[in-house]
Chain A
């Protein structure tokens, strides 16, 4: 049997460093918000058959279309370009299409999205409300579901620990998104927000499985054994199943990541990192925390 609870200082240190790094990354770099939040244009097109390089396209955007702040990237896999710049109106959009077609006759628009700056503010507010509600909703439910496990640790503390674990599980993929945004140009869009919210819903599954075993073992062994031992036993007894339940989800996520559509790539990656973090935190963080908050025996 693994002594997970006894070595909890190690796990807390690892998590502290990771979460700290994520928070520092968010504080320093900030989220690279997508056009959905701050307004802007997202334009994906391809130039089949032409040998236009990224430089050619960039040059054309700045000198011919007079869009100087365009951030253009190329996806060499399917020879498509993605341009991001300020929002433009429909006549400008059509004029730009005409100009691009004149330069490269094979020009094909794959997708076009232009969002005015006013739309994003309302979305941002709703996102913040949704995140807070999910955090509070799940934690309150746990506090309620574990009301029978009240000694030696009150069920409210199960709720608080769930909240801490949720913040842990969400801050690590969020930190990853910030770094991807800084170094890889990945934007924080609604997909990413949804992924973070869903990570909270999923990652708590494993935590619940372990807590459930603690709840059950407490009914049988309370008072006869140390709380720390009961928790450590519970973690070991349920480790295989909490890994397996997440593993099936990871299998599905991996197939979506590798053969699924490219538009979902970062959505899936965020979920993957979140689910793996969730396995780790349910075993090494949530349950040891129960022991930390229990009264000294």
Chain B
């Protein structure tokens, strides 16, 4: 980079311009990829359910939780909100189910639908020529106590065994007797998932579903049955709703504050460091474009705290510049010629830049691992921001200075600019 600073600087500027276009393509007619914005900015509801696993055997817990998540995700998808998110937060021996619904209108309906026991139905199948009719029976998920994945002893094929309670066993026994050799349809949330053929009357209260299962599809079915039976009740423990109006208002204000903050920092650098300040300002703009590009590329959800974290890094990104510029001034006072003062300044300022940024990186990493979602967005943007700002302040600014020095040696008149302070 020492040899061709202009080339490298051009590359960085081009990448930054590409990033800027990627971040905000509106005015260039390019296709706008939407940002992933947090619920606190677009409005929406965040629901937290506590899953009561006290009645579930330890070995089944994982499949119960996974099945529950699956069913609830399917339900949530029916609400028609964009990118609903359902995720599990395991915390010791209790599990939480988090549901994020962006831009949802009717929260009450959503809450009541999520809380309902998933619908599991058995139906008899009647073939009338080419059309198939399903006749619902009164055997539903409420009679199932659990399901298990087992393997056929001779063929090794995966099969699903479901267990009914006494009442369910009774109904199932009568139903299978009437349908030997015919398919029996199984519906989950009114969607047909399987229609296995009944091979004989089943009286033991368990049913074996053979069929064309892969291990994965059998496992999924087991999870769904286990969730369908809902052996673990869920309870809404935390709900947070932010209106779209409030969210929009926050978004506008935080962006405005970011712009004002950036302008103030650039003005300060121009005022205090003059020509060097121009380079720092340009490096800062490049930093902002690159970092936003990375956020968007990684698909990081930008919530209010995350944006605040990023805005803070704008204030910190020039810190390394300040440390370097002060050092360069010092080296010049000691009588070093300008070009060597610049190189020496960068070299000598590095240990303090490295050590101080490491402390912020330590903080961000700890925040990320020990806290809940609000803080994680903040920690992540802070972490990425600090790392990119190191690159920006060291590499970009240095390239600007080298390019300037190269042109300056041809053009002596600007020699004393940095000493004027």
Task: Give the B-binding residues of A (Cβ under 8 A).
Answer: 44, 89-90, 94, 108-116, 118-119, 122-123, 126-127, 129-130, 133-134, 137-138, 141-142, 145, 190-191, 194, 197-198, 200-202, 204-206, 208-209, 212-213, 215-216, 237-238, 240-241, 244-245, 247-256, 258-261, 263-264, 267-268, 271
Residue of B nearest to A240 (CB): B326
Residues of B in contact (CB 8 Å), total 68
- Looking at the assembled complex, report how far the CB atom of A7 sits from the nearest CB atom of chain B, in whole angstroms: 24
Question: Contacts A248-B265, A256-B261; is A108 near B359 (CB within 8 Å)?
Answer: no
Chain B residues with Cβ under 8 A from A90's Cβ?
108, 111-112, 236, 239
Ranked nearest first, the 7 interchain pairs of A and B with the lowest CB-CB distance are A201-B363, A252-B315, A116-B237, A212-B352, A260-B257, A252-B261, A249-B315
Chain A residues with Cβ under 8 A from B265's Cβ?
248, 251-252
Residue of A nearest to B243 (CB): A110
- Looking at the assembled complex, report how far the CB atom of A213 sits from the nearest CB atom of chain B, in whole angstroms: 8
B308–A256 CB distance below 8 A = yes
Contact of A212 among B237, B245, B351, B360 (CB under 8 A): B351
Residue-by-residue, is B281-325 near A (CB-CB < 8 Å gives 1, otherwise 0)? 000000000000000000000001100100110111011001100
- Looking at the assembled complex, report how far the CB atom of B265 sits from the nearest CB atom of chain A, in whole angstroms: 5
Task: Give the A-binding residues of B (Cβ under 8 A).
Answer: 40, 48, 50, 91-92, 108, 111-112, 235-243, 245-246, 249-250, 253-254, 256-258, 260-262, 264-265, 268-269, 272, 304-305, 308, 311-312, 314-316, 318-319, 322-323, 326, 330, 348, 351-352, 355-356, 358-360, 362-364, 366-367, 370-372, 374-375, 378, 382
A253–B237 CB distance below 8 A = no
Chain A residues with Cβ under 8 A from B112's Cβ?
90
Question: Contacts A255-B261, A259-B253; is A204 near B315 (CB within 8 Å)?
Answer: no
A122–B257 CB distance below 8 A = no
Question: Contacts A114-B238, A204-B356, A251-B264; is A261 near B370 (CB within 8 Å)?
Answer: no
Alpha-carbon distance A73/B376, docked complex (angstroms): 30
Chain A residues with Cβ under 8 A from B236's Cβ?
89-90
- Looking at the assembled complex, report how far the CB atom of A171 sits from the nearest CB atom of chain B, in whole angstroms: 17
Contact of A241 among B108, B245, B326, B366 (CB under 8 A): B326
Alpha-carbon distance A252/B249, docked complex (angstroms): 19
Alpha-carbon distance A268/B363, docked complex (angstroms): 17
Question: Contacts A255-B260, A261-B250; is A112 near B240 (CB within 8 Å)?
Answer: yes
Q: What is the predominant secondary structure among interface residues of chain B facing chain A?
A: helix
Given A118-B50, A208-B355, A209-B352, list of 9 further CB < 8 A pairs? A90-B108, A90-B111, A191-B374, A209-B356, A215-B351, A248-B268, A248-B319, A251-B265, A255-B260
B366–A112 CB distance below 8 A = no
Alpha-carbon distance A93/B325, docked complex (angstroms): 58
Alpha-carbon distance A112/B238, docked complex (angstroms): 10
Alpha-carbon distance A200/B254, docked complex (angstroms): 24
A109–B359 CB distance below 8 A = no
Question: Contacts A248-B268, A252-B312; is A133 near B305 (CB within 8 Å)?
Answer: no
Residue among B238, B269, B326 with max Cβ neighbours from chain A (10 Å): B238
Chain A residues with Cβ under 8 A from B243's Cβ?
108-111
Contact of A201 among B235, B238, B269, B364 (CB under 8 A): B364
B362–A134 CB distance below 8 A = yes
Chain A residues with Cβ under 8 A from B242's Cβ?
110-111
Question: Contacts A114-B239, A205-B360, A259-B260; is A253 near B374 (CB within 8 Å)?
Answer: no
Alpha-carbon distance A247/B261, docked complex (angstroms): 12
A134–B363 CB distance below 8 A = yes
A194–B378 CB distance below 8 A = yes
Contact of B308 among A89, A126, A204, A267 (CB under 8 A): A267
B359–A119 CB distance below 8 A = no
- Looking at the assembled complex, report how far the CB atom of B216 sits from the nearest CB atom of chain A, in whole angstroms: 33
B316–A115 CB distance below 8 A = no
Contact of B382 among A190, A198, A256 (CB under 8 A): A198
10 contacts between A and B (CB under 8 A): A118-B237, A126-B372, A134-B367, A197-B367, A202-B360, A213-B352, A245-B318, A248-B316, A255-B258, A255-B264
Question: Contacts A194-B378, A200-B363; is A113 near B370 (CB within 8 Å)?
Answer: no
Chain B residues with Cβ under 8 A from A213's Cβ?
352
Residue among A114, A122, A212, A258 with max Cβ neighbours from chain B (10 Å): A212
Alpha-carbon distance A259/B261, docked complex (angstroms): 10
